[in-house]
């Protein structure tokens, strides 16, 4: 008996972030509001920032852009208004600055 794996064949909405970020956002949108959901929003934003660096090496995506993309992926269910989210996105992206120093 052969094992059959199901693949999600739905199109990826934002290819620069990938299917994993899309699936995490859909999962977070189904969760009840609380600390776990807020933590997952911060983790998703971190992944989005890292993925965006791979696609757009010259520029860092801003806080507003990540917030809008999370809202767009979750169809407005995730608002990204927690204090942990604001604190995370207010920090400079150290990986991007280190990468720019290597280029010089």
* Enclosing H/E stretch for 29: helix 19-30
Mean pLDDT, the chain, as a whole number?
Answer: 79
pLDDT at residue 14, rounded to an integer: 85
Residue 87 confidence (pLDDT): 80
pLDDT for 71 beyond 80? yes
pLDDT grade, residue 4 (50/70/90)? Answer: low
Give the pLDDT of residue 104. 54
Query: 75 to each of 1, 7, 51, 70, how far by Cα in Å?
Result: 40, 23, 20, 8
For the segment 16-55, what is each residue's pLDDT rounded down to a tens digit? 888 889 999 999 999 999 999 989 999 998 888 888 878 7
Contact call for residues 56 and 14 (beta carbons, < 8 A): no
């Amino acid at each position: 008996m052969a094992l059959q794996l199901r693949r999600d064949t739905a199109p990826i909405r934002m290819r620069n972030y990938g299917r994993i970020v899309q699936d995490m956002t859909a999962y977070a949108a189904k969760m009840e509001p609380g600390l776990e959901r807020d933590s997952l929003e911060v983790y998703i934003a971190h992944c989005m920032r890292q993925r965006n660096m791979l696609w757009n090496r010259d520029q860092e995506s801003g806080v507003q852009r990540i917030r809008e993309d999370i809202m767009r992926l979750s169809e407005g269910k995730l608002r990204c208004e927690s204090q942990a989210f604001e604190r995370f996105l207010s920090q400079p992206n150290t990986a991007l600055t280190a990468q720019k120093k290597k280029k010089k």
